[in-house]
């Protein structure tokens, strides 16, 4: 049985005497002896990103102790006048999975945290930002398996939620699975798993009413025009995304692997998959724009309930790179409208 590679924090640790064989812009380096060096966080998470919001309460919990997987939970506070405790009806729930090419990221990163604060406040929703295991230490489908495990944890909390922090605010009959970039890919795979399985039990305590794929991180062996035309000098370029796939897919797999390409030769057929409404967000300046648009168009051609929202002048992940921007606010408004239409609050 192969041994797990050693993982060393890049901060304050001397690198072993080995060559670097993969380098994700200094955030993650893989050495020839299998050692993995990780930086404690990205340089694009300045302390100026808000860590609190005047109308949102939040706390962190462990949802999978053996794997040390955490979730950050956000809810509009009663003082804000929102629904939930002291505000009338309960709030829809947005389960959120962060991006990072399956290799980077955390629900604790400042930019992710700041976006989730604003998402909870502006969308008027409970937000559950769940972590998952990262590659290359844990290659796909580990991240999707962890996400499925989180939904199982959520169902348990919905049933035995005596004293649970969210019990008075969360409407588990209106749950939406969301994610950005790699998190959007996770949302796709959860949708396929759920839609390919037997019909949900009528007494399921968690009703998933829709999926939101924010600039999903899809791949394929054949290049799309938006990929082929991506300038090499931009930060999120084709070479970097190829590195993410090399490090996250099973060893030897190509980008047509089902985990990367939803319409690859070995991917499950989507025609017979039962789907609730799906919102796909694309960025006009995103290298992955063509794949997101193609995904939405294919689902639409199959008769699936899908909506495409394109932000013409925006790059990949603009809403987490600038969670306080006007464009991020417009995206959150689009998500809130989608939620209200797909699952209106009970009267």
What residues are labeled active site? 181, 286, 316
Nearest CA to 339 among 119, 112, 80?
119
Q: How far is CA 347 from CA 76, 90, 344, in A?
A: 20, 11, 9
The DSSP letter of residue 130 is E
The residues, ordered by sequence, that sit 6+ positions from 156 with a Cβ below 8 Å of its Cβ are: none
In DSSP notation, 44-94 reads T--TTS-S-BTTEEEEEEEEETTTTEEEEEEEE-GGGT-SSTTTSSPEEEE
Q: How crowded is residue 52: how many other Cβ atoms within 10 Å of its Cβ?
A: 10
Q: For 224, which DSSP code?
A: P
Residue 45: Cβ within 10 Å count: 18
- 116, 111, 9: which is closest to 71 by C-alpha? 116
Q: In what order do the strands lie in the sheet with 170-180?
A: 56-64, 69-76, 126-130, 91-97, 170-180, 208-214, 278-283, 306-311
SS3 content of the chain, % helix, strand, coil (to 5): 30, 20, 50
The DSSP letter of residue 128 is E
């Amino acid at each position: 049985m192969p041994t797990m590679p050693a993982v060393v924090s890049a901060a304050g640790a001397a690198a072993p005497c080995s060559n670097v064989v993969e380098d994700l812009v200094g955030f993650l380096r893989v050495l020839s002896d299998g050692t993995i060096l990780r930086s404690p966080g990205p340089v694009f998470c300045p302390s100026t990103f808000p860590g609190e919001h005047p109308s949102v309460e939040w706390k962190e919990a462990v949802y999978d102790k053996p794997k040390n997987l955490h979730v950050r939970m956000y809810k509009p506070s009663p003082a804000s006048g929102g629904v939930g405790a002291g505000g009338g009806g309960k709030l829809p729930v947005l389960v959120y999975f962060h991006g990072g090419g399956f290799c980077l990221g955390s629900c604790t990163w400042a930019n992710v945290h700041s976006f989730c604060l604003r998402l909870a406040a502006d969308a008027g929703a409970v937000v559950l930002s769940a972590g998952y295991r990262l590659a290359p230490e844990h290659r796909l489908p580990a991240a999707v398996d962890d996400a499925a495990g989180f939904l199982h944890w959520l169902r348990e909390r919905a049933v035995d939620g005596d004293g649970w922090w969210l019990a008075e605010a969360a409407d588990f009959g209106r749950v939406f699975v969301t994610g950005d970039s790699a998190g959007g890919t996770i949302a796709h795979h959860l949708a396929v798993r759920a839609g390919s399985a037997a019909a949900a039990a009528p007494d399921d305590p968690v009703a998933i009413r829709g999926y939101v794929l924010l600039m999903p991180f899809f791949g394929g062996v054949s290049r799309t025009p938006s990929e082929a035309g991506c300038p090499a000098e931009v930060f999120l370029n084709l070479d970097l995304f190829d590195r993410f796939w090399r490090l996250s897919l099973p060893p030897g797999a190509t980008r047509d692997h089902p985990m990367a390409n939803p319409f690859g030769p070995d991917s499950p057929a989507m025609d017979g998959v039962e789907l609730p409404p799906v919102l796909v967000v694309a960025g006009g300046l995103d290298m992955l724009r063509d794949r997101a648009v193609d995904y939405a168009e294919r689902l639409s051609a199959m008769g699936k309930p899908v909506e495409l929202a394109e932000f013409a002048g925006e790059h990949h992940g603009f809403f987490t790179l600038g969670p306080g921007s006007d464009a991020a606010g417009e995206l959150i408004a689009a998500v809130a409208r989608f939620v209200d239409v797909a699952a209106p609050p009970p009267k």
